[in-house]
Chain A
């Protein structure tokens, strides 16, 4: 079947989509967007997290046919050109990345959290990231990154408060 979907702001079309395949497969294998990672394929690990109509979901659990006429935003759609999103920047700076496999899903989940709750408490961060597994770093650096991103977003660069390493 054919699927028409807006991905990261651009209308996209895929043909010969198998009716039983997932949004994750559609993104990675047909639309050339391998940022969302394929790990568990059962919604346990969160590494395939994307926005579907502005709501974070596991793309492995969305049927490709269900995104017809809808809007998807993947981790590739967070940066503004070469300028990383503050959440991405904070992950780099806090050392919240080791093998990097879980990172795209965590970045999207954290991005959504900070959109909804600009200054989250630690329990709120833990709850928001509860559906994302990391098997390398442990979670402390990831929590640091979310806290850092929250601070950055509250006092954006240019206000003179902090210097960023992402030039």
Chain B
């Protein structure tokens, strides 16, 4: 095995082009588990932790309205530094692993592993995030919606590295919730994120750990967006009808295609998702109503 230690992004991209079989490693919280248990023996490890440009975030876009988070920024920094601008992502980051894991783990790694249970995926989907991928051929932006292709499979080409994720900054409410047996160190049994987009009269919603990939609950998004818009509630929000919350929860559950496994049954996951959807929507809407009033 080779251990490749680039100091710059340009070097890293050149190495990845020469060695597409090299496995990128940042926080190591996924890759090292596979190595420790001999589940994987890559030809090379490509250490990204020495590359300064991957360890910073900045607000880009015309009005600083999008936050570009370098692939190697750990969860702890997202929680501490971006909680106000990216409430949903910070919330999901707080639920990752333990303090030690959050000190090392990164959104870039979550995207690279593309586990259906990754905690940040539902938020990235609901918040319209974009994944920045680079190679010696250039840089491209992949909408999160198009990024997840299958269980632990993503849209990266073999010579590409994830360099950043772009997440629209917002003051509008976002919520994330997940089900697990305890607060720390839990792989989600199922998870859910909702993001209100009042400027577009739209709601984003996505499920995790309940299908081969994280995925948007499109029918639920469309139902709720239409309902809120047709009743003029973006301008003058009222308490949501139970029937609306219930329908939203049902549509979220329908978006999932979970399996039975050691963490929970498919039927349980669907039920839990409908509960998470109703609950998180209730929180987000209460928050929104308070802000508009």
**A interface residues (Cβ-Cβ under 8 A, vs B):** 1, 18-20, 22, 41-44, 46, 49, 55-58, 60-63, 65-66, 68, 109, 127-128, 130-132
Q: B97 interface residue, CB < 8 Å from A?
A: yes
Number of A-B contacts (CB under 8 A): 91
Contact A43 B45 (CB under 8 A): no
> How distant is the Cα of A66 from the Cα of B47 in the complex, in angstroms?
7
Contact A41 B100 (CB under 8 A): no
Contact A131 B185 (CB under 8 A): yes
Contact A20 B99 (CB under 8 A): no
Contact A60 B36 (CB under 8 A): yes
B32's partner among A1, A60, A68, A128 (CB-CB below 8 A) is A60
Contact B47 A19 (CB under 8 A): no
Q: B101 interface residue, CB < 8 Å from A?
A: yes
CB contacts under 8 Å to A, within B16-42, are 25, 27-29, 31-33, 35-37, 41-42
Tell whether A43 pairs with B103 under 8 Å between CB atoms, given A19-B2, A19-B45.
no
Residues of chain B within 8 A of A44, CB atoms compared:
185
Contact A109 B36 (CB under 8 A): no
A58's partner among B3, B44, B104 (CB-CB below 8 A) is B104
Contact A56 B49 (CB under 8 A): no
Taking each of B32, B33, B37, B101, which has the highest tally of chain A beta carbons within 10 Å of its own beta carbon?
B32
Residues of chain B within 8 A of A49, CB atoms compared:
100
In which size bucket is the chain B interface? 20 to 34
Residues of chain B within 8 A of A109, CB atoms compared:
99-100
Contact B3 A65 (CB under 8 A): yes
Q: B262 interface residue, CB < 8 Å from A?
A: no
Contact A61 B28 (CB under 8 A): yes
Query: Which chain B residue has the least Cβ–Cβ distance from A55?
Result: B103
Q: Report the minimal beta-carbon distance from A12 to chain B, rounded to whole angstroms.
A: 18
Q: B52 interface residue, CB < 8 Å from A?
A: no
Tell whether A22 pairs with B32 under 8 Å between CB atoms, given A57-B103, A109-B100.
yes
